[in-house]
Amino acid sequence: MSTSVASVAGEDEGEVRAPGIITILRGTGPSVRCLLVCAFVNQAGAFVQAFLVLFLVDHGVGAGRAGLALAAYGLGAVFGALMGGALADRIGQRATIVLSLACSAWLTVLLGFLGSPADYPALIAVVIANGAIAQTYRPAAMAMLAGLVPDDRVVMTWSVYRIALNLGAVIGPLFAALLLTVSWNLLFCVDGFTTLVCAVVALRFLPAPVPAPARAVDEDPSSPEEPPSTGSAYRALVRDRRFLLYLLAMFVSALIYMQYFSVLPLKLRAESDSSAVYSAVLALSAALVITSELFVTRRVQRWRTTHAAGGGIVLLAVGLAAYGPSAGLVLLFAATAVGVLGQMMSGPTMFAHPTRVAPPGAGGRYAGAAHAMFGLGCAAGPFAGVLLWHRIGASVWTLCGAVGLLAALAAVGAMASGRPSFEIGKPWARMRHRYRIRGVLND
């Protein structure tokens, strides 16, 4: 269990200085750099979800069945996030990461040989297993990342992690286009190979779990140092009302965020804009995240978590709501910039939150629950958005704005008061509380 004091109000910046970008990058150890490299390589080679529909259609599987296969992958990913959190807490974070990467590598290669319509049932089973196994990686990596860096650097380090993911997402499709000039099998084999290399690197450089000290003979077996069982950990999570409110904010944020990829292209097509306009919107989003997120996080990490999370979700909601009027390209790109700024403000803080508030021994489960709810929102978002677009038209953007404001309120309510590292009854603690400088515990 670690404790740190973080500045949560603008006037406290002089007392607690947040580390800068260069300090963070220079201060990372081999294990953190390994996680960052694995995130980049894994995302750059994540071809299954991006190219599954095109792969199946090219092999004679109908578009409807191809879409069902992609939905099956998303369903597996949701369960995988929960499974990964439990595994990380039970068998260790490194073991979970290595197991996830190694198994995912072989399942990915297998997919390349199951493209025909006759193989469809087996393909669905492999797709679900691949989605689940691949996603067990994320909660374990998230919990390990939080445990390897000081608490005052978690948000910035998570932002660097997101940059690695985004760089991989930009480079990956370009690399995939080159591989597709040869064959589909080569695409999936390269994906599997890079994932297997990441597994070997993780086994070599990530820290092994520290063995628990031997328990004295007369020690109470119900001592709080004993890691909670799977059932008790999830029961504690369900009873944690603030964390449930946080999960609601994660789900709703993902739900409205997905409208960038589902409803926005429909809006542009209805307004007779070319696909090049939508491509420009996506390019602008990627460019802003890659070039600006670290600098935004450098400022935001000094704020109170409620300001960063709630304010960021509000900007995301405002950006989506601004898509409603048909006022030309200037408003379109301005709305995109506002929404992306909101994502950069809230994203690192929101994703760093679970491991900072989880009870001892339950960090993986809390992280897994967060990823599961985010994945569930990403899976439900396109379906809900397209359905509403056909029912209410451009009013869907106003609805996104309103729902986003509710998500911001949920985030503020969930993160309004951390678990303080002091007792309010003590005079010095009351003084710290009065000046709004609060400790944040991992438990």
> Following DSSP, what letter does each residue of 209-248 receive, concatenated?
PPPPPPPPTTS-TT-TTSPPPHHHHHHHHHH-HHHHHHHH
Q: Are 48 and 116 members of one domain?
A: yes
Regions of the chain where pLDDT drops below 70:
1-28, 45-47, 49-50, 63, 152, 209-236, 273-275, 327, 417-443
Tell me whether residue 225 is in a domain: no
Which residues share a beta bridge with 4?
Answer: 440
The CA-atom distances, in angstroms, between 442 and each of 43, 147, 338 are 28, 9, 32
Query: Which of these three, 163, 189, 208, is where a domain ends?
Result: 208
Q: Are 257 and 129 members of one domain?
A: no
The CA-atom distances, in angstroms, between 352 and each of 285, 356, 362 are 22, 7, 14
Tell me whether residue 181 is in a domain: yes
Q: What is the DSSP string of 317-370?
A: HHHHHTTSS---HHHHHHHHHHHHHHHHHHHHHHHHHHHHHPPTT-HHHHHHHH
The span from the CA of 320 to the CA of 316, in Å, is 6
- Tell me which DSSP letter residue 152 carries: G
Q: Residues for the chain: how many in total?
A: 443
Q: Are 301 and 201 members of one domain?
A: no
The span from the CA of 145 to the CA of 157, in Å, is 8
Q: At what angle do helices 154-180 and 275-300 cross, to 10 degrees?
A: 160
**Residue 146, SS3 per DSSP:** helix
| Parent domain of 330 | 240-443
Q: Which residue matches tokens 């960052």?
A: 36
Torsion of CA 255, 261, 265, 268, to 10 degrees: 70
Long-range interactions of 52-58: CB distance < 8 A, separation 24+: 52/111, 52/127, 55/115, 55/184, 56/115, 56/123, 58/115, 58/184
Tell me whether residue 272 is in a domain: yes
Query: Which of these three, 159, 193, 208, is where a domain ends?
Result: 208
**105 contacts: CB under 8 Å, gap ≥ 6:** 192, 193, 195, 196, 199
pLDDT of residue 425: 36
pLDDT of residue 180: 77
Q: Are 200 and 245 members of one domain?
A: no
Q: Are 285 and 199 members of one domain?
A: no
Tell me whether residue 222 is in a domain: no
Tell me whether residue 217 is in a domain: no
Environment class of 209 (CB within 10 Å of its CB; exposed 0-12, middle 13-18, buried 19+): exposed
The CA-atom distances, in angstroms, between 63 and each of 59, 75, 267, 317 are 11, 18, 22, 32
- Tell me which DSSP letter residue 153 carries: G
User: Based on the structure, what is the number of domains in the chain?
Assistant: 2
Q: At what angle do helices 305-321 and 395-415 cross, to 10 degrees?
A: 180
This prediction's pTM: 0.66
What's the pLDDT tens digit per position in 27-80?
667 788 888 888 888 777 666 766 777 788 788 877 677 777 877 887 888 888
Rg of the chain (C-alpha set): 22
Amino acid identity of 443?
Answer: D
Q: Are 82 and 192 members of one domain?
A: yes
CATH number for the domain spanning 51: value is: 1.20.1250.20
Q: Are 340 and 380 members of one domain?
A: yes
Tell me whether residue 13 is in a domain: no
Q: Are 157 and 304 members of one domain?
A: no
**Structure token digits, residue 93:** 């974070």
Tell me whether residue 313 is in a domain: yes
Tell me whether residue 394 is in a domain: yes
Answer whether 375's CB lies under 8 Å from 74's CB: yes
